[in-house]
Amino acid sequence: MSTEQNVDFRKRRSEIIKTHLRNDPRIKAARRRVRRNIVFGAFSYILVLAFTLLLAKSVTMAMNDPAAYRQMVAPVIGTLPETHIAYVALMPDPVSTQIASVLRPYVNSGAADNHDVTVLENSQTVPLSLQQQN
């Protein structure tokens, strides 16, 4: 076989192998599984991130009253339109407000238990030392 024939043979052989690999049902199924796993992983990550951010916003709202929370986020959302995603994500919503109302007695329990605490602006409580928490 001459060099030109060998090159043509290898090219045709490579194209045939690629065609068979593209049409192989096992390989197609494996590619579908990989795509599905990537999409599922990304969706799971976004879902966990959204839940974490919602919980963080709720805890912040539980530590402060709603007016103080609005003052905290005002510099960030001051120039954004009301339809912007950051504006919608940072402003108090019914779900985070409800979670904050459930968490409020537990977050501010130090003031209710007559521990020595210093009350600052915006209803934040700070223990005077770590020994007084116990």
Unique residue bearing structure tokens 């690629």: 18
Measured CA to CA, the distance from residue 80 to residue 116 in angstroms comes to: 41
Query: Does the structure show a pLDDT above 70 at 94?
Result: yes
pLDDT in tens, 70-92: 888 888 888 889 889 888 888 88
Q: What is the pTM of this model?
A: 0.60
Q: What are the beta bridge partners of residue 117? A: 127
- Which pLDDT belongs to residue 108? 72
Measured CA to CA, the distance from residue 116 to residue 30 in angstroms comes to: 62
Measured CA to CA, the distance from residue 132 to residue 115 in angstroms comes to: 7
pLDDT in tens, 20-58: 888 888 988 999 999 999 999 999 999 999 999 999 999
Measured CA to CA, the distance from residue 80 to residue 87 in angstroms comes to: 6
Q: What is the DSSP letter of 113?
A: T
